[in-house]
């Protein structure tokens, strides 16, 4: 009787154990934007990790563009495989330069700046905003920019629960003017396969500006009816979009 019970127990444990996906041959590096940190990638990280990817998260300080690029390249160097480099918002400035790294296979922009050579966040933000679209409600504090705290929930993440967005507004990281004003001189999207997710309900980077940057970069484009914080409000769709850049995937 005991052998039968043991066999049944083993079968139950085997049935209950979650399937572990085989490790993919591509690594994914996630680069956050301004005012937030890498914790916003948590759900996307979990989904991609469960699918078998090595996922690395950059925690750049967002004080200077040069330091942020250097920190991203340090993380790229740690990856075990060729890299899909993902940038959200200001993270797009960073991946445009860091993506020039030969280890980077492709670029994914999420509601992000995708600059050309000689452009900075400041120069891109000078473009007029079409009627019905919005510019970010930024305030200057010394050598830093922040989002107006009272307007953060509706401007940055209107489709995320307000308890979360109020905390995000209170805990936001200052964005250094050196990061905002420094011009890009390396442009990886000119030589690397590029994907761009436009967020059509964005109140931080106007959707029209996103579409313009996506078009000139030659990116494969998709649109989400989402606020700027698309990785928080639509993590499964974001993860699927990132996976679409993995041409080596064998599902």
Average pLDDT in the chain:
92
| 88 closest CA partner among 221, 205, 208, 193 | 205
| 188 closest CA partner among 101, 66, 78, 124 | 101
**pLDDT score at 23:** 84
pLDDT in tens, 119-176: 999 999 988 888 889 989 999 999 999 999 999 999 999 999 999 999 999 999 999 9
pLDDT in tens, 101-133: 999 999 999 999 999 999 999 999 988 888 889
**pLDDT score at 20:** 60
pLDDT in tens, 3-27: 444 444 444 444 444 556 788 999 9
**pLDDT score at 248:** 77
| pLDDT higher than 60, residue 250 | no
Domains defined along the chain, listed by start? 24-183+191-243 (3.40.50.1820)
| pLDDT higher than 80, residue 223 | yes
The span from the CA of 48 to the CA of 54, in Å, is: 8
Q: Which residues of 162-180 are buried (b: 16+ CB within 10 A; e: fewer)?
A: eeebeebbeebbbbbbbbb
The span from the CA of 179 to the CA of 61, in Å, is: 10
As a residue count, the chain comes to 251
pLDDT in tens, 43-68: 999 999 999 999 999 999 999 999 99
Cα-Cα-Cα-Cα dihedral sign, residues 190, 196, 200, 206? negative
pLDDT in tens, 25-47: 999 999 999 999 999 999 999 99
The span from the CA of 73 to the CA of 58, in Å, is: 9
Kindly compute the dihedral angle of the four CA atoms of residues 101, 143, 230, 171, in this order, to the nearest 10 degrees.
Answer: 120
Contact 9, 1 (CB under 8 A): no
**pLDDT score at 2:** 47
**pLDDT score at 9:** 44
| pLDDT higher than 70, residue 79 | yes
The pair of structure tokens assigned to 246 is 């993995």
Please provide the DSSP assignment of 40-91 as one string: GGHHHHHHHHHTT-EEEEE---SS-HHHHHHHHHHHHHH-SS-EEEEEETTH
Strands 104-110 and 194-199: parallel
């Amino acid at each position: 009787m005991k052998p039968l019970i043991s066999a049944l127990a083993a079968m139950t444990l085997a049935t209950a154990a979650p399937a572990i996906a085989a490790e993919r041959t591509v690594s994914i590096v996630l680069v956050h934007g301004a005012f937030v940190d890498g914790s916003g990638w948590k759900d996307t990280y979990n989904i991609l990790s469960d699918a078998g990817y090595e996922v690395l998260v950059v925690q750049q300080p967002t004080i200077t563009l040069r330091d942020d690029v250097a920190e991203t390249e340090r993380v790229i160097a740690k990856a075990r495989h060729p890299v899909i480099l993902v940038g959200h918002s200001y993270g797009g400035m960073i991946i445009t330069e860091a993506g020039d790294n030969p280890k980077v296979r492709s670029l994914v922009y999420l509601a992000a700046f995708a600059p050309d050579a000689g452009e900075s966040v400041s120069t891109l933000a000078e473009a007029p905003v079409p009627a019905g679209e919005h510019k970010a409600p930024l305030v200057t504090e010394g050598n830093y920019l922040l989002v107006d705290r009272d307007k953060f929930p509706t401007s940055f993440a209107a489709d995320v629960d307000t308890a979360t967005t109020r905390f995000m507004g209170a805990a936001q990281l200052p964005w250094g003017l050196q990061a905002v004003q420094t011009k890009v001189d390396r442009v990886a999207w000119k030589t690397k396969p590029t994907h761009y997710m436009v967020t059509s309900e964005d109140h931080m980077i106007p959707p029209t500006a996103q579409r313009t940057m996506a078009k000139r970069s030659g990116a494969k484009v998709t649109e989400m009816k989402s606020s700027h914080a698309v990785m928080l409000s639509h993590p499964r769709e974001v993860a699927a979009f990132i996976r679409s850049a993995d041409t080596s995937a064998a599902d």
